[in-house]
Structure 1
Amino acid sequence: MTHTWQISDVTDAARARIATARLAAAYGVPPLERTRLAASLGAQLRQCLTKGGTWRLTLDTGPSASGPSGAGERVLHAVVTPSREECAAGEPPWRMAVACPEAPEGAGRDAVADDPAALSEALLDADEDTALVLHRLREQEDLVAFHREELHQTNQGVVALHAELDAAGRAQREAFAAERKARTEAENARRRLTFLADASAVLTASLDHHEIVRRLPELLVPEYAATADVWLFDQDAARDRSSAHPAAAVVAARTGRPQYAADHPGGLPGVGDQPPSMLNPGRPLLCIPLVPRRAALGVLTLSPPGERWDPDDAVMLIELTRRASIAIDHARRYEQNRDIAETLQRALLTELPATPGLGLAARYLPATHGLNIGGDWYDAFRQPDGGVIAVVGDVTGHGLRAAVMMSQLRTALRAYAVDGGSPGRLLTRLHTFLHHLQPDLYATAVIARFHPDDPTMTWAAAGHPPPVLRTPDGRVRALDAKPGAMLGIPLEQEIADHTERLAPGSTLALYTDGLVERRARGIDPGIERLAAALGAFRSAELDSDLEGSADSILDPMLSDSERDDDVCLLLCHVRGSG
Structure 2
Amino acid sequence: MTRTWQITDVTEAARARIAAARLATAYGVPPLERTRLVASLSAQLRLCLTKGGAWRLTLETGAASRATPDATGSVLHAVVAPDRDTAAAGQPPWRVTVPCPEGVPVAEAEAAVDDPALLAEALLGADEDTALVLERLSEQEHLVDFHREELQQTNQGVVALHAELDAAGRAQREAFAAERKARTEAENARRRLTFLANASAVLTASLDHHEIVRRLPELLVPEYAASVDVWLFEQEGERPGPAHPAAAVVAARTGRPQYAAAAPGGLPGVEDQPPSALEPERPLLCIPLPTRQAPLGVVTLSPPGERWDPDDAVMLIELTRRASIAIDHAQRYQHNRDIAETLQRALLTELPAPPGLALAARYLPATHGLNIGGDWYDAFRQPDGGTIAVVGDVTGHGLRAAVMMSQLRTALRAYAVDGGSPGRLLTRLHTFLHHLQPDLFATAVIARFHPDDPTMTWAAAGHPPPVLRTPDGRVQTLDAKPGAMLGIPLRQEITDHTVPLPPGSTLALYTDGLVERRALGIDPGIARLAEALGGFGSAQLEADLEGSADGILRPLLSDSQRDDDVCLLLCHLRGSG
TM-score (norm 2): 0.94
Map of 2:443 onto structure 1: 444
Aligned match of 2:158: 158
Q: CA deviation at 1:426?
A: 2.9
User: Aligned partners of 2:293 and 2:273: how far apart in 1?
Assistant: 23
1:193 matched to 2:157? The reply is no
Q: Which residue of 1 aligns with 2:179?
A: 179
Q: Equivalent residue for 2:213?
A: 213
C-alpha deviation, 1:72, in angstroms: 6.2
Q: Is the 8 A contact 2:422 2:459 kept in 1?
A: yes
Aligned runs of 1:332-481 on 2, under 5 Å?
A: 332-481=331-480
Letter of the 1:576 counterpart: G
Say which is worse superposed, 155-164 or 552-561, in terms of deviation.
552-561
Q: Any conservation in 1 of the 2:473–2:534 contact (CA below 8 Å)? A: yes
Q: Distance in 1 between matches of 2:154 and 2:69?
A: 42
Letter in 2 for 1:548: G
Task: Please tell me whether the aligned partners of residues 441 and 486 of structure 2 are also in contact (alpha carbons under 8 angstroms).
Answer: yes
Please give the secondary structure, in 1, of the residue aligned with 2:300: strand
Identity of matched residues, %: 83
In 2, Cα distance between the equivalents of 1:70 and 1:274?
Answer: 95
What amino acid maps onto 1:8 in structure 2? Answer: T
Report the CA distance between 1:89 and its aligned residue: 4.7
Aligned to 1:509: 508
SS of alignment partner, residue 174 of structure 2: helix
CA distance in 1, matches of 2:155, 2:85: 59
Task: Tell me what 2:569 maps to.
Answer: 570
Shift of 1:148: 2.2
2:59 counterpart of 1:62: no
Quote the offset at 1:432 in angstroms. Answer: 4.1
Question: Residue 474 of structure 1 contacts residue 535 of structure 1 at CA under 8 Å; is this kept in 2?
Answer: yes
Give me the whole-angstrom Cα distance separating, in 2, the residues matched to 1:48 and 1:491. 155
Q: Distance in 1 between matches of 2:53 and 2:505?
A: 166
**Does the 8 Å contact 2:379/2:388 carry over to 1?**
yes
Kept after mapping to 1: 8 A contact 2:29/2:102: no
CA distance in 2, matches of 1:254, 1:203: 25
1:29 aligned partner: 29
Q: Where does 1:103-142 land on structure 2 (aligned, <5 Å)?
A: 103-105=103-105, 106-113=107-114, 119-142=119-142
Secondary structure at the counterpart of residue 108 of structure 2: coil
Structure 1: distance between partners of 2:404 and 2:128? 137
**2:266 pairs with 1:257:** no
Q: CA offsets per residue over residues 293-348 of structure 1, 9 Å max, x none?
A: 22111111111111111111111111111111111111111011111111111111
Partner of 2:240: 241
When structure 1 is superposed on structure 2, of 561-570 and 344-353 the one drifting more is 561-570
Structure 1 CA distance, aligned partners of 2:296 and 2:70? 114
Q: Secondary structure of the equivalent of 2:14?
A: helix
Distance 2:147 2:435 in 1: 112
Task: Report which stretch shifted further, 253-262 or 155-164.
Answer: 155-164
The answer to whether the 8 A contact 2:549-2:570 is kept is yes
**Cα distance, 1:84 vs structure 2:** 1.4
Secondary structure of the 1:372 match is: coil
Opposite residue 271 of structure 1, the aligned amino acid is: V
- Aligned in 2, Cα 1:56/1:439: closer, same or farther, shift over 3 Å? farther
Q: Which residue of 1 aligns with 2:306?
A: 307
Q: Judge conservation of contact 1:236–1:243 (CA < 8 Å) in 2.
A: no
1:250–1:71: structure 2 CA closer, same or farther, 3 Å change rule? Answer: closer
Q: TM-score, normalised by structure 1?
A: 0.94
Structure 1 range deviating more: 308-317 or 31-40: 31-40
Higher alpha-carbon deviation: 492-501 or 165-174: 492-501
Cα separation, 1, equivalents of 2:538 and 2:165: 102
Q: Is 369-378 or 489-498 further displaced after alignment? A: 489-498
Q: Which amino acid aligns with 1:227?
A: S
Contact 2:382 2:419 in 1 (8 A): yes
Query: Which stretch has the larger CA shift, 398-407 or 183-192?
Result: 398-407
Task: Between 568-577 and 321-330, report the one with greater CA deviation.
Answer: 568-577
Which position in structure 2 is the counterpart of 1:496? Answer: 495
SS of 1:454 mapped into structure 2:
coil
Q: Does 1:46 align with 2:26?
A: no
Distance 1:102-1:300 versus aligned 2 partners, 3 A rule: closer
Q: Is contact 2:72-2:99 (8 Å) kept?
A: no
User: Secondary structure of the residue that 2:237 maps to in structure 1?
Assistant: helix
Residues 82, 88 of structure 2: 8 Å contact kept: no
1:66 and 1:73 in contact (8 A); partners too: no
> Mean alpha-carbon deviation: is it higher for 391-400 or for 262-271?
391-400
Asked whether the 8 Å contact 1:29–1:100 carries over to 2, the reply is: yes
Which piece of structure 1 moves more, 291-300 or 437-446?
437-446
Compared CA separation, residues 403 and 65, structure 1 to 2 (3 A): same
- Give the partner amino acid of 2:568: L
Deviation at 1:425, TM superposition (A): 3.4
Structure 1 segments unaligned to the other structure (5+ residues): none
- For 1:205, the aligned partner's letter is A
Instruction: Report the counterpart of residue 483 of structure 1 in structure 2.
Output: 482
Q: 3-state DSSP class of the match of 2:483?
A: coil
Equivalent-residue separation in structure 2 for 1:549 and 1:501 (angstroms)? 23
For the structure 1 residues 211 and 406, does the alpha-carbon distance in structure 2 shift closer, same or farther, using more than 3 Å as the test?
Answer: same
1:517 positional shift: 2.8
> C-alpha deviations, 1:52-100, integer Å up to 9, x for none?
1111111111111149999961111111111214587531111111111
Question: What's the counterpart of residue 15 of structure 1?
Answer: 15
The more displaced of 136-145 and 67-76 is 67-76
> Cα offset for 1:436?
4.5
Instruction: Give the secondary-structure state (helix, strand or coil) at the position aligned to 1:84.
Output: coil
Letter in 1 for 2:148: R
How many Å apart are 1:152 and its aligned residue? 2.0
Runs of 5+ unmatched residues, structure 2: none
Q: 1:574 and 1:562 mapped to 2: Cα distance?
A: 33
Shift of residue 489 of structure 1? 4.2
- How far, CA to CA, are the matches of 1:64 and 1:256 in structure 2? 111
Cα RMSD (Å) of the superposition?
Answer: 2.4
Structure 2: which amino acid aligns with 1:466? P
The superposition leaves residues 340-361 of structure 1 with CA deviations (integer Å, 9 ceiling, x where unpaired) of 1111111111111222232221
Partners of 1:84 and 1:505 lie apart in 2 by 168
Shift of 1:408: 2.2
Q: What is the distance in 1 between the residues matched to 2:148 and 2:433?
A: 111
Structure 1 residues 249 and 282: CA distance shift in structure 2, 3 A: same
Quick check: 1:98 aligned with 2:98?
yes
- The CA deviation string for residues 384-408 of structure 1, in whole angstroms up to 9 with x for no partner, is 4433221111223333233222222
